[in-house]
Amino acid sequence: MTPTPLLPNFLAGRWQDGTGHGATLLDPVLGTPLVRVSSAGLDLAEGFAFAREQGGAALRALTYQQRAALLGDIVKVLQANRDAYYAIATANCGTTTKDSAVDIDGAIFTLGYYAKQGEALGDAKLLLDGERIRMAKDPVFQTQHILSPTRGVALFINAFNFPSWGLWEKAAPALLSGVPVIIKPATATAWLTQRMVKDVVDAGILPAGALSVVCGSSAGLMDQLGPFDVVSFTGSAETARIIRSHPAVAQRSVRCNIEADSLNSALLDPAAAAGDEAFNLLVSEVVREMTVKSGQKCTAIRRIFVPRALYDATAQAIAAKLGKTTVGNPRNETTRMGALVSREQFDSVLAGIAHLKTEAEVLFDGSSAALVDADPAVAACVAPVLLGHRQPAQAKVLHEVEVFGPVATLMAFDSLEQALELIRRGEGSLVASVYSSDPAFIALAAAELGSSHGRVHAISPDVAAVQSGHGNVMPMSLHGGPGRAGGGEELGGLRALGFYHRRSALQGSTAALDVLAASGTPFKP
């Protein structure tokens, strides 16, 4: 039998195999072994020091415009290898071609966006934050706030659902800022991340130490972080708590960005009627969010709030569309929804559904339909499940537990005030979407929901054809959310650069500030 190949790690400027057998990555549909990963035996201290000293110094020696050009070169490499990435995504992530595009093409688009944004920053090496402020009666003494790239490394601990986009949406603003990155992809889907890093490294685009990848266990990674490093994590709230309590964060003040669990919501205007445009837009968006990437998106709709009079009509309309969703092997052209990433996630989702059922009624369950070209005893395929609750104010579990799969719960409300209160019981989310034909209602709902959400996505008939989607994270808009969503912020255009810079104030003469300004550019996020 041919042994399962081991993927090497790229650390300290060279490819290195981890020791031991490591973890085996499987095809989530066929159950067959694909590759192995291991980080055991790596000299992490050497790798982090190399990134800081070699990668960081080389990146900071470049201007924003020069670093933006490097991002543009990465885009070309990724575009040239798209077919290979799609093949890996099908095999390792179990996604259909359409769902793979969300991850792969979304990553390439984000990189291209930051390449253009960085080009506009010009030949500067620091950012001027705001105008000068007079410090005395005589205007000769002033203060200028500046943003300088941190002299550390950015550690990314990523989630399993977006091995491509999750890498580049973080790496693009970090590299543009002049900060080297070390990526720890989720083990289950690490192959795509590792392959992309390999292609970029082989192309010789970035300075040595600017880009590293460690596949396998995360043990010891946080221990390497120092005061000027940053860490960005996407995943469970449980792991987020461990990261926040680690001495690197708690004692050494390592800057930390967290994106965790999120019970995202969809809200229908109380004035809507069954079959009208706002109603139909909600139904279509809910179905899309339940089925794209098999519901494995941090931004997916988990709770659907509709006027009580429309509860049954909404349930029937969503169920009718879900009933047309074929589930199974993404290699079959008739399949519309692929697998979860692993049997471990399969078991977790089924257990989560059972937990939600203790409070909710089942409005649709697609599990009775046969899988397409897949063995249900092997494949990590879960059919869409729509649950419901007519008195959601009485529920507890439904407002606390997120099931990370093709699952959502329909909830009836009696007034807008009640709906808003129920949405806030999610205790902070990445995104809420609002469906209405009334601009005044949209503005009101957005203002009410803004403080508890990172993003409010308003879908009205006039933007139906061009809106980007409830769950799609666009680089020009903020991604993150308060409370249980992690309290972090990513993207948001050039705002993303702030995480990788340190703000300081230079207090001095006008002449000195003039010299400083010559090497900087105004920061206008």
pLDDT(272) > 80? yes
CA dihedral angle for residue 337, residue 36, residue 194, residue 177, rounded to 10 degrees: 110
pLDDT(230) > 70? yes
Question: What's the average model confidence in pLDDT over 193-215?
Answer: 98
Alpha carbon of 453 to those of 306, 404, 428, 430: distances in Å? Answer: 19, 19, 6, 5
Angle (CA) 461 477 464, round 5°: 10
> Can 259 be counted among the known catalytic residues?
yes
pLDDT(329) > 90? yes
Which pLDDT band holds residue 3 (cuts at 50, 70, 90)?
A: confident
Q: Based on the domain organization, do 255 and 272 belong to the same domain?
A: no
User: What pLDDT does residue 137 have?
Assistant: 87
Residue 386 lies in a domain: yes
298, 359, 448, 490: the active-site residue: 298
Q: Based on the domain organization, do 362 and 255 belong to the same domain?
A: no
Residue 126 lies in a domain: yes
User: What pLDDT does residue 92 have?
Assistant: 97
CATH number for the domain spanning 215: value is: 3.40.605.10
CATH number for the domain spanning 456: value is: 3.40.309.10
Q: Answer whether 200's CB lies under 8 Å from 71's CB.
A: no
pTM of the model: 0.96
Picking from 63-67, 379-383, 518-522, which range would have the lowest pLDDT averaged per residue? Answer: 518-522
Q: Over the stretch 24-56, which tens digit does the pLDDT of each residue have?
A: 999 999 999 999 999 999 999 999 999 999 999
pLDDT(525) > 90? no
Q: Based on the domain organization, do 309 and 210 belong to the same domain?
A: no
259, 285, 402, 489: the active-site residue: 259
Residue 10 lies in a domain: no
Residue 1 lies in a domain: no
Q: Based on the domain organization, do 186 and 293 belong to the same domain?
A: no
What is the sign of the dihedral through the CA atoms of 189, 191, 194 and 196?
Answer: negative
Three-class SS string for 453-476? Answer: EEEEEEECHHHCCCCCCCCCCCCC
User: What pLDDT does residue 94 have?
Assistant: 97
Element (H, E) at 24: strand 23-26
Residue 334 lies in a domain: yes
Residue 400 lies in a domain: yes
Q: How far is CA 7 from the centre of its chain?
A: 24
Q: Based on the domain organization, do 271 and 386 belong to the same domain?
A: yes
Q: Based on the domain organization, do 109 and 169 belong to the same domain?
A: yes
Q: Based on the domain organization, do 253 and 274 belong to the same domain?
A: no
Tell the residue number behind the tokens 């047309």, with chain if given.
Answer: 324
Q: Based on the domain organization, do 70 and 119 belong to the same domain?
A: yes
| Phi, psi for 43 (deg, rounded to 5) | -85, 90
> Can 381 be counted among the known catalytic residues?
no
Average pLDDT in the chain: 97
pLDDT(521) > 80? yes
Q: Over the stretch 448-490, which tens digit does the pLDDT of each residue have?
A: 999 999 999 999 999 999 999 999 999 999 999 999 999 999 9
Which pLDDT band holds residue 1 (cuts at 50, 70, 90)?
A: low
pLDDT(303) > 70? yes
State the residue range of the domain holding 247. Answer: 44-260+489-522
Q: Based on the domain organization, do 273 and 191 belong to the same domain?
A: no
User: What pLDDT does residue 173 have?
Assistant: 98
Q: How many CB atoms lie within 10 A of CB 505?
A: 12
Q: Based on the domain organization, do 334 and 217 belong to the same domain?
A: no
Q: Over the stretch 279-290, which tens digit does the pLDDT of each residue have?
A: 999 999 999 999
Q: Based on the domain organization, do 223 and 321 belong to the same domain?
A: no
pLDDT more than 70, % of the chain: 100
Contacts of 140 (CB under 8 A, 6+ apart): 509, 510
Residue 8 lies in a domain: no
pLDDT(66) > 90? yes
Higher pLDDT, 525 or 361: 361
Residue 193 lies in a domain: yes
User: What pLDDT does residue 139 have?
Assistant: 87
pLDDT(2) > 80? no
Q: Based on the domain organization, do 210 and 315 belong to the same domain?
A: no
In whole angstroms, what is the distance from residue 499 CA to residue 478 CA?
13
- Number of domains the chain is built from: 2
